[in-house]
Amino acid sequence: MTISWQSIQQEALDCLRALVRLDTTNPPGNERIAVDYLADVLGTYGIDSVIREGAPTRANLVARHPGTDSSAAALLLSSHTDVVPVERSGWTREPFSGEIAQGCVWGRGAIDMKSKCAMDVAMMTAMKRAGAKPNRDVILAAVADEEAGSDLGAKFLVERHPELVRAGYVLNEVGGFTVHLMNRRFYPIQVAEKGFVTVRMKVTAMPGHGSMPRSDTAISRISELITKIVKTPMRTNISPFMRRALEDMGVPLESPGPLFAPMLANTASPTILRAGYKDNVIPGEATIVLDGRTLPGEDPESFMAELRQIVGPEPTFELLKSAPPVQASPDTPLFELIKQTVEAADPGARAIAWMIPGATDNKYYSQLGAVCYGFSPVKLDPQMPFGALYHGNDERLPIEGFFWGLRVYAEVLFKFLGIRFDQVFA
């Protein structure tokens, strides 16, 4: 049985809107409501779901569509169902309505990333209905807790239930959206993401009475160190694919600007500053927390050694948490297929391998040996930049761009899985 392309578009749109209406703001998450809905939709077409909770109400769903060759490395389609909080005063529409207006679906999660979840569900159910057998297993994962570090989501599944999500390839978020730059269009495809190293830095000095001022105190010392950290660039290290990407985009490597500079070096942002406890006491210690982000090839030790060169021998470092950077090769048949399909669907545009400065669930899936890409295609107009929508006020998704992305996604998937497009869609 084939399915009309029109109806699969409508189904994906309905699924997205239904997901947006389920408030899965994290904290507290409550992803169970999204997972129950998804299990229902999948169940309608005879697809069984496995549900695993990292904690009560923090549910993860995994479903598998078996392929003809169970020994071939599986393809995992992953999305997270939690969303970041909204500041209602900044919204012009109800953030959990899934309302359609001005050609867009409005609401938290429309871009990040309930739209990808809806696309994954549409592809799984379409394959099932059409009786299409992929050349490998296809796994759908809809996971909890990505927006708060993934402890109860992808990390939990990878550590506690690896057999459910072990795959050769993963398609996940942050990639495949239109970037308009100097009248040209680009589609960054995430092949790498930075690691993070969170460090508490402490200085001490003689405490004293506030009525007896001194120039040298813990507060003045930490202030000087903060100034040094924010004013000293960390050393540049440009990976081959980032060099190619920036050259393609016409970004000058020697002055990349604040948008691109974080992809070319480790970075350290002071995010929490603490000192003092009483208004007439000069405190004896002061601390800052640094949000450090590391390039592929770096680890906490190399990051702290570089930081040490900037701040000198005085402050103590305490490593609070860290996660490694991830890098997948862009030289794979899957990447090539993504690139060709995107460029054919938007003539004149370029798809490029890209690294993001933040973290996604790919950090965890890659620990099981998967080649992980960020590919959640959507076509965006110049007046609707991804950066402003992502975690922003009035998050919304243009429906035409979503349908364009669904088509591109389906073409990539089915070609990769050895399924003829017209065997599934009419």
Kindly compute the dihedral angle of the four CA atoms of residues 326, 332, 333, 336, in this order, to the nearest 10 degrees: 80
Q: Pick the binder of Zn ion from 12, 34, 59, 113 (CB under 5 A).
A: 113
Mask for 25-64, x = binds Zn ion (CB under 5 A): ----------------------------------------
Where helices occur in 144-295 by DSSP H, the ranges are 154-160, 162-165, 218-231, 240-249
Least CB distance from residue 390 to Zn ion, whole Å? 8
Q: For residue 256, which amino acid is it?
A: P
The verdict on 83 binding Zn ion (CB under 5 A) reads no
Q: Smaller CB distance to Zn ion: residue 145 or 298?
A: 145
- Paired strand residues for 327: 192
Nearest to 370 by CA among 148, 137, 146: 137
The verdict on 193 binding Zn ion (CB under 5 A) reads no
Please tell me whether residue 409 adopts helix, strand or coil conformation.
helix
Least CB distance from residue 303 to Zn ion, whole Å? 24
Nearest to 116 by CA among 408, 418, 421: 408
Whether 379 contacts 180, CB under 8 Å: no
Question: What is the CB neighbour count within 10 angstroms for residue 86?
Answer: 21
Q: Which stretch binds Zn ion (CB under 5 A): 109-117, 207-215, 263-271, 329-337?
A: 109-117
Q: For residue 202, which amino acid is it?
A: K
Q: Smaller CB distance to Zn ion: residue 78 or 266?
A: 78
Cα dihedral sign, 140-79-399-178:
negative
Question: What is the CB neighbour count within 10 angstroms for residue 280?
Answer: 7
Least CB distance from residue 56 to Zn ion, whole Å? 23
The verdict on 112 binding Zn ion (CB under 5 A) reads yes
CA distance 241 to 11: 37
Q: Smaller CB distance to Zn ion: residue 83 or 413?
A: 83
Q: Which stretch binds Zn ion (CB under 5 A): 32-40, 165-173, 179-187, 362-370?
A: 165-173
Whether 111 contacts 389, CB under 8 Å: yes
- In the block, residue with structure tokens 């899985």: 417
Q: Smaller CB distance to Zn ion: residue 173 or 298?
A: 173
Q: Is 274 exposed, middle or buried (0-12, 13-18, 19+ CB in 10 A)?
A: middle
Q: Which stretch binds Zn ion (CB under 5 A): 166-174, 198-206, 232-240, 401-409?
A: 166-174
Enumerate residues 133-152 that contact Zn ion by CB under 5 A: none
Least CB distance from residue 109 to Zn ion, whole Å? 9
Cα dihedral sign, 64-67-70-75:
negative
Least CB distance from residue 161 to Zn ion, whole Å? 21
Q: Which stretch binds Zn ion (CB under 5 A): 31-39, 171-179, 246-254, 349-357?
A: 171-179
Least CB distance from residue 112 to Zn ion, whole Å? 4
Least CB distance from residue 145 to Zn ion, whole Å? 11
Least CB distance from residue 376 to Zn ion, whole Å? 9
Q: Which stretch binds Zn ion (CB under 5 A): 167-175, 176-184, 284-292, 327-335?
A: 167-175
Distance linking the first and last C-alpha atoms of the chain: 10
Least CB distance from residue 350 to Zn ion, whole Å? 24
Q: Which stretch binds Zn ion (CB under 5 A): 7-15, 31-39, 170-178, 409-417?
A: 170-178
Residue whose Cβ sits closest to Zn ion: 112
- Going by the DSSP 8-state scheme, the letter that residue 109 receives in this structure is T
CA distance 377 to 339: 11
What is the size of the binding site for Zn ion (CB under 5 A)? 3
- Going by the DSSP 8-state scheme, the letter that residue 203 receives in this structure is E
Residue 233 CB contacts under 8 Å (≥ 6 apart), including other chains:
261, 265
Question: What is the CB neighbour count within 10 angstroms for residue 197?
Answer: 27
Mask for 211-250, x = binds Zn ion (CB under 5 A): ----------------------------------------
Q: Smaller CB distance to Zn ion: residue 11 or 112?
A: 112
Q: Smaller CB distance to Zn ion: residue 150 or 217?
A: 150
Q: Smaller CB distance to Zn ion: residue 112 or 137?
A: 112
Whether 117 contacts 38, CB under 8 Å: yes
Least CB distance from residue 146 to Zn ion, whole Å? 6
Q: Smaller CB distance to Zn ion: residue 79 or 217?
A: 79
- Paired strand residues for 60: 52
Least CB distance from residue 414 to Zn ion, whole Å? 25
Residues forming the site for Zn ion (CB under 5 A): 112-113, 173
